[in-house]
Structure 1
Amino acid sequence: MEEYFFQCPYCWEQISMLVDTSQNHQNYIEDCEICCNPIQVSIVVENQEIINFEAKNIEQ
């Protein structure tokens, strides 16, 4: 597990989440810990390192 910091696409606050680096491709929705809006999270991991992380507003 690795803690990853990013900016919420709704409230623009910096938040963090724990990423399971044993999974190569991950797509899921997680609520912002500040504003509680749903964020579409897409993560790509190679050799247990995060190589791509996207956090999108699902209302776009």
Structure 2
Amino acid sequence: MLDPIFIHCPYCGESIEILVDSSVRTQQYVEDCQVCCRPIDIAVDVDEEGALHVSASSENDG
């Protein structure tokens, strides 16, 4: 199941919507910002209650 989530681009600061697959408990991937086209590192965790925890960082944030 894909859930729409809003994040802020770590480069341009714009709020963008991404789709997250909540059936996968832990995932990490790169998605380009829809505004500035820079690569965003996305990390997703789904806790025991099914709540999504999403973080977005730049490539250089380590």
May I ask how many residue pairs the two structures share in their alignment? Answer: 59
Normalising by structure 1, report the TM-score: 0.89
Partner of 2:56: 55
SS of 1:33 mapped into structure 2: coil
Identity %: 37
TM superposition shift of 1:53 = 1.1
- Does the aligned pair in 2 maintain the 1:10–1:57 contact within 8 Å? yes
State the one-letter code of the partner of 2:45. Answer: V
1:9 and 2:10 correspond: yes
More helix by share: 2
CA RMSD of aligned residues (A): 1.1
| Inter-partner Cα distance in structure 2 for 1:34 and 1:21 | 24
Whichever residue aligns with residue 35 of structure 1, its letter is: C
Please state how far the C-alpha of 1:59 moved relative to its aligned partner. 2.4
Q: Which structure 1 residue ranges, 5 or more long, are not aligned? A: none
Structure 1 segments of 4 or more deviating over 4 A?
none
Alpha-carbon distance between aligned partners in 1 of 2:43 and 2:12, rounded to the nearest angstrom: 19
Counterpart in the other structure of 2:36: 35
Q: TM-score under structure 2 normalisation?
A: 0.86
